[in-house]
Amino acid sequence: MTTIAKDTAVKFNYTLKDDEGNILDQSPEGQPLAYLHGHSNIIPGLEQQLEGRSAGETITAVVEPADGYGEYQAQAVQHVPRDNFQGVEDIQPGMQFQSEAGGQVMLVTVTEVTDDEVIVDANHPLAGKRLTFEVEIQEVRGATEDELNHGHVHGAGGVEH
């Protein structure tokens, strides 16, 4: 039986919950997530806890912020003049925009809007949160040469191209 290790293709179903037990995300029914292990395709804390597991196993993986989406960074919250959003009439909290800073493109989420400014947060929405994944491993196999060259799994649950 193949176990999860670097360069294996893995398919798993998951439910992601926060510390309060709220479901934050889950794989659609009958559509497990596919990834290439050891290639940074999923968050490090989950990848580490899947290492050495086999198809058919069910695990609960608790991932601390540092091994998930990072610690919350207060300096990632910016007050931007509303004039910078020309062409966007109705700006609402929750909207997301691409922003460029220091040559790096990032996604920012609007958290507050006033007459003069828009407050945006560049933190990942799950930054600073401990995450609990309920995982059911469906399939583990050696990756194909094509998958290794591309850095991701092909086919159902992976990348179609």
Topology classification of domain 8-69+127-150: Chitinase A; domain 3 (3.10.50)
Identify the band that residue 89 occupies on the pLDDT scale cut at 50, 70 and 90. Answer: confident
CATH number of 74-121: 2.40.10.330
pLDDT at site 159: 60
The edge-to-edge listing of strands for the beta sheet with 117-121 is 77-81, 117-121, 104-113, 96-101
Taking the C-alpha atoms of residue 153 and residue 88, their distance in angstroms, rounded to an integer, is 38
Residue % of the chain over a pLDDT of 70: 96
Phi and psi, residue 133, nearest 5°: -105, 125
Whole-Å CA distances, 143 to 40, 43, 156: 15, 19, 14
**What residue spans define the domains of the chain?**
8-69+127-150, 74-121
CB neighbourhood size of 74 (10 A): 8
